Amino acid sequence: MALKATVFKAQVQISDLDRHYYESHTLTLARHPSETDARMMVRLLAFCIFADPQLSLTKGLSTDEEPDLWQHSLSGEIERWIELGQPDERRLRQACGRAREVVVVTYAGRSAALWWTQNSANLARLRNLRVLDLDAAEVQALTALVARSMDLQCTLDGGQVWIGNDQSTVELTPTIRQAGGDR
């Protein structure tokens, strides 16, 4: 018998001072049995960083045809395609052909640095690709916020992110490995 996904609910107040975006979002995250708390929280963090009314969480690990998050325009085009981890170059080339902007968020420390070293030259040719790296220790601290029902506040300012609940706050500083741009 296959294991079922674990459902997490998150109420997130987002204050993005860089983009002047201030909204509250109610999210349902289905954590696949093979997904770690760290990866699930990186998905939630990616939502906060790129928050938009049209941005949505997908089925994630359970399907290969979709990214972890994506944003569609009102006419159905893919505006933003967000992958987590270390996707292969071929998948990113295909995504860059389908979406206006593709974002990769790496978070695995040394293995993410190795992935970047091996792929950076080829990925530099993808003009609409943005690559962000999260510090592994910061991501590990983020897992302390995991609960089946989360009430979180997220503030973004000057390239830094603060996310927390009424007990604690985690500060993260994503490193921009490739700035990319819209095509």
Is 183's pLDDT higher than 90?
A: no
CA atoms within 13 A of residue 38's CA, in its CB half-sphere: 15
Confidence of residue 181 (pLDDT cuts 50, 70, 90): low
**Predicted pLDDT of residue 1:** 54
**Predicted pLDDT of residue 182:** 60
Q: What is the mean pLDDT of residues 23-34?
A: 94
pLDDT tens per residue across span 139-155: 999 999 999 999 999 99
Question: pTM of the prediction?
Answer: 0.94
Angle between helices 110-123 and 89-98 (to 10 degrees): 60
Token pair for residue 3?
A: 């294991």
**Predicted pLDDT of residue 60:** 64
Secondary structure letter of residue 95 according to DSSP? H
Average pLDDT, the chain: 94
Residue type, 123: L
CB 154 within 8 A of CB 52: no
Taking alpha carbons only, the member of 163, 175, 157, 174 closest to residue 17 is 157
pLDDT tens per residue across span 76-105: 999 999 999 999 999 999 999 999 999 999
Is 2's pLDDT higher than 70?
A: no
Residue extents of the structural domains in the chain? 37-145+171-178
Specify the CATH class of 37-145+171-178 in words.
alpha beta
